[in-house]
Amino acid sequence: MCLFRYDDDPEPEERVPAGLLYVPVRPGGGAGVAIRLFHTPLGTRTAVGFTAVERLAATLGENQAYVPLSESLLRELCAPLGARLITVDPTLSAPAAVPTTHRANRLAVRGA
């Protein structure tokens, strides 16, 4: 996700609300779902929303579950979780991290 600030970016008070966002979710406890939270390249926790289902699918895959939420509701739900930043329509994402135990086993095999 690209979160650099550019000279022509609007100031916070000049920003227009994003409107309805398609927010990625994962299975939650019971019959519910939980909002997927991500990290910026600098490690800041962020909620992610997409302005079109096609953009969500292009970034996270066709099988990614989602819920439609307003920007204000997304902010309200994620703030207590430490995600005060919302990233809209990210186009770049890093590959899934390799679990530590898997990596350690792979390194041990190479060294043998």
Instruction: Tell me the average pLDDT across 30-58.
Output: 91
CB 89 within 8 A of CB 42: no
Q: Give the whole-angstrom CA distance, residue 89 versus residue 6.
A: 16
pLDDT digits (tens, 9 = 90+) for 90-105: 876 566 555 555 444 4
CB 87 within 8 A of CB 61: no
Q: What pLDDT, on a 0 to 100 scale, did the predictor assign at position 96?
A: 58
Q: Whole-model pTM?
A: 0.67
N-terminal to C-terminal alpha carbon distance within the chain: 37
Q: Which CATH number fits domain 12-93: 3.80.10, 3.30.1490, 3.40.1350, 3.60.15?
A: 3.40.1350
Q: Give the whole-angstrom CA distance, residue 87 versus residue 41.
A: 12
Q: Is the pLDDT of residue 6 over 70?
A: no
Whole-number Cα distances in Å, 60 to 10, 22, 47, 86, 100: 27, 12, 14, 16, 23
pLDDT digits (tens, 9 = 90+) for 14-32: 555 667 999 999 988 777 8
pLDDT digits (tens, 9 = 90+) for 54-79: 999 999 999 999 999 999 999 999 99
